[in-house]
Amino acid sequence: MKSTAILALLAAAGIAGSAAGAERPRFAIDTEAVYDPAAVAPYAGHHPEVYAHVDASIEAHVAALQRWMRQPSISAQDVGIDEMAEMLRSDLEAIGFQETALVPTDGHPGVWGYYDAGAERTLLVYMMYDVQPVNPEDWDSPPFEANLVDHELGRVIMARGATNQKGPQRAFLNAIESIVAVHGRLPVNLMVAAEGEEELGSPHYPQIVDAYEDRMRTADGVLFPMSVQAPDGRTTMLLGVKGILYFEMESRGGDWGGPQRSEIHGSYKAIVDAPALRLIQAIASLTSPDGNTILVPGYYDGIRPPTEEEQMLINGAARSRNEEMLKNAIGVARFIDDLSGRDALVETLYMPTLNVDGIWSGYTGEGVKTILPHVATAKVDSRLPMGLDPDEALAKIRAHLDANGFEDIVIRKLSGYPPAQTSVDAALTQAVIGVYNKYSKGLSIQPRIAGSAPFYQFTDRLGLPLVPAGLGHGRGAHAPNEIYLVEPGPGVPVAGLAEIEKAYVDLLYALAGK
Amino acid sequence: MKSTAILALLAAAGIAGSAAGAERPRFAIDTEAVYDPAAVAPYAGHHPEVYAHVDASIEAHVAALQRWMRQPSISAQDVGIDEMAEMLRSDLEAIGFQETALVPTDGHPGVWGYYDAGAERTLLVYMMYDVQPVNPEDWDSPPFEANLVDHELGRVIMARGATNQKGPQRAFLNAIESIVAVHGRLPVNLMVAAEGEEELGSPHYPQIVDAYEDRMRTADGVLFPMSVQAPDGRTTMLLGVKGILYFEMESRGGDWGGPQRSEIHGSYKAIVDAPALRLIQAIASLTSPDGNTILVPGYYDGIRPPTEEEQMLINGAARSRNEEMLKNAIGVARFIDDLSGRDALVETLYMPTLNVDGIWSGYTGEGVKTILPHVATAKVDSRLPMGLDPDEALAKIRAHLDANGFEDIVIRKLSGYPPAQTSVDAALTQAVIGVYNKYSKGLSIQPRIAGSAPFYQFTDRLGLPLVPAGLGHGRGAHAPNEIYLVEPGPGVPVAGLAEIEKAYVDLLYALAGK
């Protein structure tokens, strides 16, 4: 279509908004070697007295989960936050944490706990005690009654926070309670550093780290209790997350032109600039016409390609990937450029994105209304792989807009944090794999996921490996009828609450090398 | 910045979405001659018996206006429509129209009336009997009580429809009522062809014309009763309107890509197409980066430049143009390209526009929500000067989108009609100017306005000149506290109701050459 000479000229002329020559890097997978988690020896330890204690206490353990879930703790609405923070703190104290405290922040308080086992190894446990809001009328069982309900998978607790994240977290505490009850002390030292603002994007978690940074650095790794089993029993391990930059772009009439006070009659467009068109042009300048390649100069430059370890993990993850199931689940007929297999996986995990989460301006009702709106706004996010920092990304976007004459477009940053990555070779990761191999039917390891979480506080700031881990199954996070499976029905090959807790028992001993 | 050679190459390569080489035509004004309406002789006729009847009947005439305004007729909400249509029909009958009828359409009914004066000349009167909706709590006086209220300009009626359009229209009927009362018959034949859907964009007016087309063609011109005096007494005459094309553009996930069922998690953007970005790119491809030049091939090709007559009118209109007042009124710091004077006027009246009236997609609330929306929609209008037909405009836009790979963008046409133009030399126009020159302090003639009205039904389809005309002042159309001035206060040089009616009396006699 376009000759190379023209493309060269275009590049030389720096044509604004042209897609000419813009391409996403394609990272090659140089190896056919596959990381095989099955090659990690299953955890060989056995702690029958503790397991027996778990089994004997299971009614009380279920009740402990229900007690947490019956305490609302909706961070967005400040409902029950202080009560839940205190419940967590006093639970830690009751278990035997010598040190517990509420941690003041500029938002909801954190909770700190330290259990000194006099052990060599120390595990830092990240927890969140807040939950999403609810529409009670959408629920089959009231969201804060935490009733036991019969489900196709078995006996479940239905409650807001059931799986996200009270169930797995309290299951972890049940496990250590049984260890302490049987053996008097834990095999590792524990730090708990919990927040009440995860559902708000963790805006003040850095302040919690500030308060205990030196001590946190001495930990050997970070566990985020999470149930990661699918209904067929398979487990998935996530070793990394993308970072995110989230901002609003706005065009508003001003000295540059456009109506400043309010919308005006649409016929004035002939001689009056349109903020809506300016915003549309500014956003359009950021991507290729298909919306899939970012045209901001240098945006792809620093991205770290998959390491050899990650390539082996990708080769493994590609084997267990079911693309048709994924397409069906999200209602998508085809992926961009008809990507599939490893290519789709590398694109998903290693490319930064530019996405419009929302845009609004002017008249959005039925029929015809002819106005020239004075303001137009969009919400935009960019998911960031390793090698692209949010502040750097924002600076590049700003520079691109300015260079293309869009100085009048206002950017308001709402959130931003870098990606996080943990190595499969970390002692914590290996211990978790060993425990999974003891209990579950098959483990797939994702070198990272396309979503974001502020785990960089641990991986980058503290230099610690972080693994979200735990057996069991829950679903319905952020939705009505959230559940946590406590007693799987016949033939459902998923861990119930007792097995979830036994696996956490094993994990602590595995970390201690026992 | 860019060399001519590169621009030529760009043009040859047909670079999608690039502004290179795209320019709006600039129409030159070749003459310094000015059309001077003051050179038209003031209407010299005098009809003292009729004027006396108007003065003696003024209380009843005010009451007739109030009776109309007290009858709600909100077309958008179907409130009082049938009652108002019948009130207009029976008023025409009472005045002496030999023929009156409700005209069924696929929407609200039209009203037809014919007054056979046995005269040589026939005037067609376009009327609208519907009004805009109201928010009664925003009004100082209830919108359908039509109370007489003291205002800084004098005595006014405050009501929905006061100036848009019941006041001027009923004033016109008062005038002919007085002529009939005094002389027994009118000096011209009258046709009335009213609609009840003007505020909806006149979707069924063509059906009303269908019913009486052959007879309407025999008229000598079309009057739209309208009060066009400013508070300082100056009158403005509008000889043309732009046409309009109004449509929605939508991108929705489908076979081409993107989520089809609902929004999905924003992190999927890495491998899933984004309808919001597609819509933004498609709209962006329509204009230059500043949003002010339309890049659709051929969009400017057929535009008719100002005729010599129009150039003389533009020279006149430019003299009375107060740009600072206009900028202040609409809250705009500068016009596009810092246009002013005649250039601004030509741009306003002769360039087609592309305007985004509204756009919406995804999450538009407070804070952060990371989703990939499955649908994005915009409302777009294009104002059309003479030489650009709405269907032709739409076809060019569709072809441009298809040629640039945006076949997946759906266009839904909501409205469209061509522009309309009347010559200043038409007999009706000259008669109106003569009457204005008798009564008012200064007339400025706009060859056309930037806004739109479906007057093409008269000018193009029936080949008739159309003039919106009448003395007097009202304000607040489509807004709370709409008023019509019936009795100007001391020192306010605007016609009151009696003078408005006398000027309509004169106009009918002027048309008859009497």
- CATH class for the region spanning A39-239+423-511: alpha beta
Q: CATH code for A27-35+241-417?
A: 3.30.70.360
Q: CATH code for B242-303+351-417?
A: 3.30.70.360
Q: Report whether pLDDT(B322) > 90.
A: no
Q: Report whether pLDDT(B9) > 50.
A: no
| d(C-alpha B171, C-alpha B163), whole Å | 11
Question: Are B39-239+422-511 and B242-303+351-417 the same fold in CATH?
Answer: no
From B253, which residue of chain A is nearest by alpha-carbon distance? A332
Measuring CA to CA, how many Å separate A260 from each of A263, A374, B336?
8, 6, 14
Of B6, B259, B291, the CB nearest to A281: B291
ipTM, 2 decimals? 0.89
Give the pLDDT confidence score for residue B73 in this predicted structure.
98
| Contact: B353, A290; criterion CB under 8 Å | no
Which chain B residues are within 8 Å of A371, Cβ to Cβ? 357-358
| Contact: B355, A372; criterion CB under 8 Å | yes
Which chain B residues are within 8 Å of A273, Cβ to Cβ? 290-292, 336
Q: Which of A3, A269, A326 to mutate to test the interface with B (most CBs of B within 10 A)?
A: A269
| Contact: A273, B374; criterion CB under 8 Å | no
Which chain A residues are within 8 Å of B283, Cβ to Cβ? 277, 280, 284
Which chain A residues are within 8 Å of B274, Cβ to Cβ? 291, 355-356
Percent of chain B surpassing pLDDT 90: 89
Q: Which of B263, B350, B356, B400 to mutate to test the interface with A (most CBs of A within 10 A)?
A: B356
Q: Which of A26, A250, A267, A478 to mutate to test the interface with B (most CBs of B within 10 A)?
A: A267
| Contact: B270, A383; criterion CB under 8 Å | yes
* Burial class for A60, CB neighbours closer than 10 Å (0-12, 13-18, 19+): exposed
Are B457 and B209 in contact, with CB atoms under 8 Å apart? yes
Of A270, A339, A449, the CB nearest to B353: A270
Which chain B residues are within 8 Å of A266, Cβ to Cβ? 353, 355, 357, 381, 383
* Residue whose pair of structure tokens reads 């009056």 in the numeric block: A272
From B252, which residue of chain A is nearest by alpha-carbon distance? A332
DSSP state of A504: H
Q: Which of B10, B241, B262, B359 to mutate to test the interface with A (most CBs of A within 10 A)?
A: B359
A188 to chain B, closest Cα gap in Å: 36
From A401, which residue of chain B is nearest by alpha-carbon distance? B289
Please name the amino acid found at residue A102: L
| Contact: A15, B15; criterion CB under 8 Å | yes
Give the pLDDT confidence score for residue A15 in this predicted structure.
40
Q: Where are the beta strands (DSSP E) in A418-473?
A: 420-421, 443-446, 449-452, 466-469
Q: What is the mean pLDDT of residues B475-485?
A: 92
| Contact: B359, A359; criterion CB under 8 Å | yes
B68 to chain A, closest Cα gap in Å: 26
Along the 514 residues of chain A, how does pLDDT read in single tens digits?
Answer: 233 333 333 333 334 334 444 789 999 999 999 999 999 999 999 999 999 999 999 999 999 999 999 999 999 999 999 999 999 999 999 999 999 999 999 999 999 999 999 999 999 999 999 999 998 999 999 999 999 999 999 999 999 999 999 999 999 999 999 999 999 999 999 999 999 999 888 889 999 999 999 999 999 999 999 999 999 999 999 999 999 999 999 999 999 999 999 999 999 999 999 999 999 999 999 999 999 999 999 999 999 999 999 999 999 999 888 899 899 989 999 999 999 999 999 999 999 999 999 999 999 998 888 899 999 999 999 999 999 999 999 999 999 999 999 999 999 999 999 999 999 999 999 999 999 999 987 899 999 999 998 899 999 999 999 999 999 999 999 888 999 999 999 999 999 999 999 999 999 999 999 9
Give the pLDDT confidence score for residue A10 in this predicted structure.
37
**What is the sign, positive or negative, of the torsion defined by CA atoms of B328, B330, B331, B334?**
negative
B262 to chain A, closest Cα gap in Å: 8
* Residue whose pair of structure tokens reads 């009706």 in the numeric block: B428
Domain-wise residue ranges, chain B: 39-239+422-511, 242-303+351-417
B190-243 residue pLDDT tens: 999 999 999 888 889 999 999 999 999 999 999 999 999 999 999 999 999 999
Considering the segment(s) B39-239+422-511 as one domain, its CATH architecture is 3-Layer(aba) Sandwich (3.40)
Contacts of B17 (CB under 8 A, 6+ apart): A17, A18, A284, A289, B281, B284, B285, B295, B404
